[in-house]
Amino acid sequence: MTQTQSVVDALVPPSLPAIRLTGLRKTYGDTQAVAGVDLDIAAGEFFTMLGPSGSGKTTLLRIIAGFERPDAGHVTLHGRDVTDVPPYDRDVNTVFQDYALFPHMSVQQNVEYGLRIRRQARATRRTRAETALELVGLAGFSKRKPHELSGGQRQRVALARAIVNEPQVLLLDEPLGALDLKLRQGMQVELKRIQRDVGITFVYVTHDQEEALTMSDRIAVFNAGRIEQLGSPLEVYDRPATEFVAGFVGVSNLIERDGRRYAVRPERVHLMPADASAPDGAVVERATISEVVFVGMATRYVLTLESGRSLIAVSPNVTAASAESLALRGRQVVAHWAPSEMYEINPSVGATAGLSEGDAS
């Protein structure tokens, strides 16, 4: 257990959420950026607000930080109503995508900056900065300037500067957005490790579903200023509550039956030769393979059903024989999946995204 977490545990009852948002609303002109959000975030949780641009997630983060004031509602941090409290009096720090490091300062000086503003003793500043840099994997980099670092290293410095003050809550606004894919994937794992080590509540904003699924304890999926679904990564992915969630978090096939709508993930759709028999009780569709796409670890099949609608199936490339699948275009097949893999979904607040419409009626 870290020193920070010990302090938090001593001051905050275990049942009290780190953040409580009640009836939050924020409007810009005719646009409702935040449309009545109620949310509790537990102490020590890695919580992600996921959604497309304009969905309200960043506005909500800025309200928690104190950079924006809500038109209605309340923000409570560890039991203290901070709705009208300025940012510098809230026990939160924010990490932004652009790092905001001081170019003329060394790494050590950048990390110590907040402690210096608080008039901490020089020896204390040095010790705590060294500890923070070691935690983010930058021990030995203290004398370098920001321009001498890679993008990933600069992001680690920004993170060290944020956690060195030992805030109760750390807000992260798309902090990995400027990094390339491989570096971003590596930092996802590192961020989760750091959060686990320091025990601080992380509130993370992203439009990247992979980031959300990789790092989060819970995810709130935002659309049109509202939370469409709240749950663990497994719940949000495996049981999307609305059409929007089904399409935004991964790709789903949208199935209509008897006036009701269902979603089934492409990797749950299995293909068999046209003359084969599907397992007893399976949902079955006869189809023609209209397109085959090799995507490295998997092959994606676009199917045309007898109704004329489309369905997507994805199969992992576990053997070299999967290369033969590229020659299957135009082949007639049986697509099937277990009824338990098909979940009924509700209408969404806004438009759908990433849905392939099938017709199983």
Q: What angle do CA 263, 329, 302 make, to 5 degrees?
A: 15
Tell me, what's the pLDDT at 321? 54
Tell me, what's the pLDDT at 88? 87
Chain-centre distance for alpha carbon 325: 33
CATH, range 3-238: 3.40.50.300
Tell me, what's the pLDDT at 267? 94
DSSP secondary structure of 112-152: HHHHHHTT--HHHHHHHHHHHHHHTT-TT-TT--GGGS-HH
Q: Fold for 256-359, please state it.
A: OB fold (Dihydrolipoamide Acetyltransferase, E2P) (2.40.50)
Alpha-carbon distance 361 to 358, whole Å?
9
Tell me, what's the pLDDT at 142? 87
Tell me, what's the pLDDT at 176? 82
pLDDT per residue of the chain (361 residues) written in tens, 0 to 9: 445 454 445 444 557 899 999 999 999 998 999 999 999 999 999 999 999 999 999 999 999 999 999 999 999 999 999 999 999 899 898 888 777 788 999 999 999 888 888 888 888 888 998 888 988 888 888 889 999 988 888 888 988 898 888 888 999 998 887 778 888 888 888 889 889 888 899 999 999 998 999 999 999 999 999 999 999 999 999 999 999 999 899 889 988 888 888 999 999 999 999 988 889 999 999 999 999 998 888 899 999 998 889 999 998 887 765 556 667 888 999 999 999 999 888 876 554 445 555 544 3
Q: What is the pTM of this model?
A: 0.84
Tell me, what's the pLDDT at 259? 85
Tell me, what's the pLDDT at 10? 47
Sequence spans of domains, the chain: 3-238, 256-359
